[in-house]
Amino acid sequence: MSDFEIAPSILSADFGYLMRDIDNLKGTAKHLHIDIMDGHYVSNLSMGIPVVKSIRKHTDLKFDTHLMITNPEKYIKVFAEAGSDNISFHYECTDDPRLLIDQIHDLGCNAGIAVHPDTPIEEILPWVDKCELIMVMTVHPGFGEQGFLNGSLERISKVREAIDAKGAKTILSVDGGINVSTIKPAYDAGARFFVAGNAVFSKEDPAKAVMDLRACVSQ
Ligand code: DX5
Ligand code: ZN
């Protein structure tokens, strides 16, 4: 049994053939990563509730929903009802992470905190045992296909140390710029859940792309 997971990000899929692209994963992944953007917290728009609801009808994959939106508390319920399994909000978008975590739990979902690369990582450390998932952003949120940011490995390591020091089981996720070159260093730094958009869906065979990424960690 492997101790890590790859979550393909549908942001890089062909939205005209979304279910075809998801089906092309052929059981190589357990989670789909779904990026929700509001054109406000991030300067881009992506997809919304109807898309999440629609694909929920056609796949059993778990949904790792990443809210890149202001006022996340207003939208947690609709994304839970649309079929999310994990819901991550941005630490920078709330004054009360505890309340959001409780609300997400009350809706029956796992709670995640996503951290912007410009946020000092120390700010997140007190929260690592208060939720199921910490998502360290390794690019500036808002766009796929960017390069893995310098300094990310150190940030991942600090979160890993904090999780381990507390004896927590929190999943350490990384999002952005994960590819065959960056996945192993990120694993070695302590990440265990890898969001990958471009490295999966820009490839002819997304299932092979996931297996290629897996092989980089396992070898
Ligand atoms: C960026 C998104 C990412 C994106 C990652 O704001 O949060 O999930 O899909 O894309 P890649 O893997 O292409 O960097
Ligand atoms: Zn994301």
Cα 97 from chain centre? 17
Dihedral Cα 187, 3, 176, 195, nearest 10 deg: 160
- Is residue 33 lining ligand 1, measured as CB closer than 6 Å? yes
Active site residues: 35, 175
pLDDT score recorded for residue 1: 74
In total, how many domains does the chain have? Answer: 1
Residue stretches of the chain with pLDDT short of 50: none
> Structure pTM?
0.98
| pLDDT score, position 124 | 98
The predicted pLDDT at position 219 comes to 75
Centroid of ligand 1 to alpha carbon of 100 (angstroms): 23
3-state DSSP of the chain? CCCCEEEEEHHHCCHHHHHHHHHCCCCCCCEEEEEEEECCCCCCECCCHHHHHHHHCCCCCEEEEEEECCCHHHCHHHHHHCCCCEEEEEHHHCCCHHHHHHHHHHCCCEEEEEECCCCCHHHHHHHCCCCCEEEEECCCCCCCCCCCCCCHHHHHHHHHHHHHHCCCCCEEEEECCCCCCCHHHHHHHCCCEEEECHHHHCCCCHHHHHHHHHHHHHC
Query: What is the residue with the minimal CA distance to atom 10 of ligand 1?
Result: 144
pLDDT in tens, 69-116: 999 999 999 999 999 999 999 999 999 999 999 999 999 999 999 999
Number of the ligand 1 atom closest to the C-alpha atom of 177: 14
Q: Ligand 1 pocket, 83 CB below 6 A?
A: no
What CATH number is given to the structural domain containing 88?
A: 3.20.20.70
Query: In Å, how far are 37, 134, 214 from 131, measured between CA atoms?
Result: 22, 7, 26
CA of 146 to the centre of ligand 1 (A): 8
Q: Which structural domain, as residue segments, surrounds residue 63?
A: 5-218
Counting every residue, how long is the chain?
219
Measured CA to CA, the distance from residue 46 to residue 15 in angstroms comes to: 10
- Centre of ligand 1 to C-alpha 198, Å, is 7
- The rounded Å distance from CA 8 to ligand 2 centre is 10
The ligand 1 atom nearest the CA atom of 42: 6
Task: Answer yes or no: is the C-beta of 12 below 6 A from any ligand 1 atom.
Answer: yes
